[in-house]
Amino acid sequence: MITLRRRPLLLGLAAATLGACKRNRAPELAEVWDEDPALARTEAAGALAPPWPQPVRGQLDDGLLTFWLHESGGAAMHVRLLVPTSVYAEGPTGEVIAIAAEHARHEWQRRVQRFGVSVAIEHGPHRVELCASGPDTQLTASIAALRTMLAQRNPAGLDGARARVREQVPARTSLEVAAAATTRRLLGIDEAVDVGRIDALAAAALAQQWHALTDPRQCVLVIHAPMAAEDGKAELRRLADAWRGPDLGRGGQAFIDRATLRLRRRVEFVPTGTRLLAASSTPLVVDAAGRGGGTLVLGRTIPLGGADDRAMARLAQRIAQEELDASIAICGDVAVFLVAANLGRGAPESDVTQAVDALAAIAKTRQPRQRLFGAVQLWLGARVVEASLHGEDWTELFADAIDLADTDAGIADALAADAARQLAIAPDGLEQWTQRWLDPRTGEPGWAWTAAGVDGDAAARIERVAPRT
């Protein structure tokens, strides 16, 4: 997930996947053995992902699902609204998502700024997250401000948000262009922001899509505060009374009552693409757009049958990331795995071949058990440090845990359970998995790739080794 606190123009899955795309090489382990780590070390690593107390879960009258994380004695509060953006086959465009997110951030922020509360936009797989953080004494005021913002029937601030988004759209890098194009080919989702399409949005249509996007029947609210859930019920009821979905009368309406389903795409997974640099190779898309030099992004979708598959996919990505710019995003029952590589001007066709060869080599390598243990340990430690730097915001980790859980009851333990599963993965099992899913030449089909930021000469040279569309 993108860690910048306000980055409204890198949207959705491509942004979430690219959050760790540029490699930070892990330190070399002094010793690499193929034997089980000591039990004490395994337990210590597992403790880096401890479960928090079971949250209080509620379903409000307007359909909103809430989770209240109580931390007695804390000095800060966090309110995080999770808004799905691609749960249906036809989701809102990137321009609508950007404008809606910026409007919500701006309107919420201006109402709570005087209380020392800050509001940020974060993007996860197929969703936008709006998070307000501040002193624990301002929790009620923050929820009240959220209520006022979401209760607007005719949000006049959308035009202002449109103007701000238009001004903030930067020239996209070749990495962003290639990642967005590859993700679009894999999932059929285009959440990129195009300046030309921003002005083409009719005001009435934009308002209609704002209300559809912020329908409480498909959103999830997570609160982390020293105040107990019982003391916050009255404010949550006022929120539900004021914030109603389109055509939602007092009689209510059926809605999905599980957060683990609300925030995931509800479309059937169909693999796209074939293999790379092999028989019936997937054509390479070549795009001249993007600044910063030529970049190649290759990726695939991976179906996930359950928690064990999710743990395997996450560990495989961490091993690959030690040598490649590899990243992964878990979206319910589907993972998207991406690898980025630079394309030099001298021999871009060689760079394309080397990128495929490097990934294939990792996929076919049996990793010693100690390397697997070290990768999990480093990842868990980094996650704890990141959470600490973000002010011990439990809602951020809770949002990650939703993607790992099969049921709402399992969200609280999902991070710890995922760590335990990764620590239990055997080298032979991981090797079989990577050969099947991460070998771009001989593994399962389902690959797509894009080269961006290349000129005509480089495109012609690439065509010597890779078929183009």
Tell me whether residue 395 is in a domain: no
pLDDT higher than 60, residue 25: no
- 331 to 267, 309, 468: CA distances (angstroms): 12, 13, 29
Structure confidence at residue 361 as a pLDDT band (50, 70, 90): very high
**Dihedrals phi, psi of 223, to nearest 5 degrees:** -125, 135
Buried b (16+ CB within 10 A) or exposed e, 106-138: bbbbebbeeeebebbbbbbbbbbbbbbbbebeb
Tell me whether residue 465 is in a domain: no
Beta-carbon contacts of residue 400 (< 8 Å; ≥ 6 apart): 1, 124, 415
Cβ(444)–Cβ(84) below 8 Å: no
pLDDT for position 389: 62
Q: Please list the residues that pair with 68 across neighbouring strands.
A: 56, 223
Tell me whether residue 326 is in a domain: no
Tell me whether residue 99 is in a domain: yes
Token reading at 319 = 């091993």
pLDDT for position 385: 67
pLDDT higher than 50, residue 23: no
pTM: 0.83
Cβ(452)–Cβ(352) below 8 Å: no
- Alpha helices (H) along 291-368: 307-321, 348-363
Tell me whether residue 213 is in a domain: yes
Tell me whether residue 210 is in a domain: yes
Average pLDDT over the chain, rounded to an integer: 83
Tell me whether residue 329 is in a domain: no
Select the more confidently predicted residue: 388 or 82: 82
Mean pLDDT of 136-147: 97
Mean pLDDT of 56-62: 92
Of 333, 349, 332, the closest CA to residue 341 belongs to 349
CATH number at residue 215: 3.30.830.10
pLDDT higher than 50, residue 8: no
Compute, in degrees rounded to 10, the torsion defined by CA atoms 183, 97, 78, 62: -110
Cβ(84)–Cβ(126) below 8 Å: yes
Parent domain of 246: 54-170+186-262
Q: Other C-beta atoms within 10 Å of 250: how many?
A: 6
Cβ(393)–Cβ(387) below 8 Å: yes
**Among 12-16, 90-94, 437-441, which stretch is predicted with the lowest mean pLDDT?**
12-16
> Counting beta carbons within 10 angstroms of the beta carbon of residue 249, is it exposed (0 to 12), middle (13 to 18) or buried (19 or more)?
exposed
Number of domains in the chain: 1
Residues of the chain with pLDDT > 70, as a percent, come to 82
Tell me whether residue 281 is in a domain: no
